[in-house]
């Protein structure tokens, strides 16, 4: 899956990919697209989102006046919807909204910027999200996004995350991005997870 950051320079201070870029990417790949909407009132672009061919959409509830209705409309059109929790938001104060979503995205660095370090305190929020889910509720998975290097990925997976957004701190930190470099990152995360499990076992 390709995770594409859409920013408007208002909800966050920077600009990300445009809708034209999304359309161009959709035209050259069959890989599923995930749109991370860091924009004001994303429901204004519902038709554009539906026409983009995106498989999943992540949005920030504080950016939308009627987030429940936005989730319902996207899901009714076959799009999987994730609710993003930025650093000042917790599972507890968004519980009713999270129950409507397909998955939860924990932002592990400040939104709207690339290359910022991972905030290790967010590991507890991942654990809280995991405990919030109903037993056996595999549909509402947990995604983490922001400063995810090998160590951060391993820690978040150990806390219950099942989808990792890899960007500037992982895949794009390498000078030569190939399928082998992606596989190498996976192997390194597996090793880090193994090391963590040994620590927990004492």
Q: What is the CATH number of the domain that holds 169?
A: 3.20.20.70
DSSP conformation letters of 139-191? SSEEEEESS--HHHHHHHHHHT--EEE--TTTGGGSSS--HHHHHHHHHHHHH
Question: What residues make up the domain containing 40?
Answer: 2-201
At 139 the pLDDT is: 45
Q: What are the residues whose beta carbons fall under 8 Å from the beta carbon of 124, sequence distance 6 or more?
A: 159
pLDDT along the chain (202 residues), means of 10: 94 92 94 96 96 96 94 96 88 80 92 88 88 57 91 89 84 70 82 72 54
For position 138, what pLDDT does the model report? 44
5 is catalytic: yes
Tens of pLDDT, residue by residue over 73-110, are 999 999 999 999 998 787 777 777 888 899 999 999 98
- In the chain, how many domains are there? 1
Identify whether 176 is a catalytic site residue.
no
Q: How far is CA 131 from CA 73, 127, 135, 186, in A?
A: 28, 6, 9, 25
Closest to 118 measured CA to CA, from 144, 92, 90: 144
The model's pTM: 0.87
Of 8, 125, 145, 149, which one is the catalytic site residue?
Answer: 145
CB contact at 8 A, 93 and 121: no
Percent of residues, the chain, with pLDDT higher than 90: 52
Distances (CA, A) of 135 to 8, 34, 140: 38, 26, 11
């Amino acid at each position: 899956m390709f995770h594409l950051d859409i920013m408007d320079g208002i909800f966050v201070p920077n600009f990300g990919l445009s809708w034209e870029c999304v359309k161009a990417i959709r035209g050259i790949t069959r890989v599923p697209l995930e749109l991370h909407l860091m924009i004001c009132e994303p429901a204004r672009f519902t038709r554009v989102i539906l026409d983009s061919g995106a498989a999943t959409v992540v949005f920030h509830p504080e950016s939308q006046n009627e987030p429940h209705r936005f989730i319902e409309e996207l899901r009714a059109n076959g799009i999987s919807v994730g609710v993003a929790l930025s650093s000042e938001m917790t599972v507890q104060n968004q519980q009713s909204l999270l129950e409507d979503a397909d998955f939860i995205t924990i932002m592990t660095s400040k939104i709207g910027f690339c290359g910022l370090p991972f905030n290790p305190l967010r590991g507890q929020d991942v654990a809280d999200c995991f405990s919030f889910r109903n037993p056996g509720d595999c549909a509402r998975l947990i995604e983490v996004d922001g400063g995810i290097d090998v160590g951060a990925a391993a820690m978040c997976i150990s806390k219950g995350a099942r989808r990792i957004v890899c960007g500037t701190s992982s895949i794009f930190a390498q000078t030569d991005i190939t399928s082998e470099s992606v596989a190498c990152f996976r192997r390194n995360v597996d090793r880090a997870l193994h090391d963590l499990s040994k620590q927990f076992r004492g």
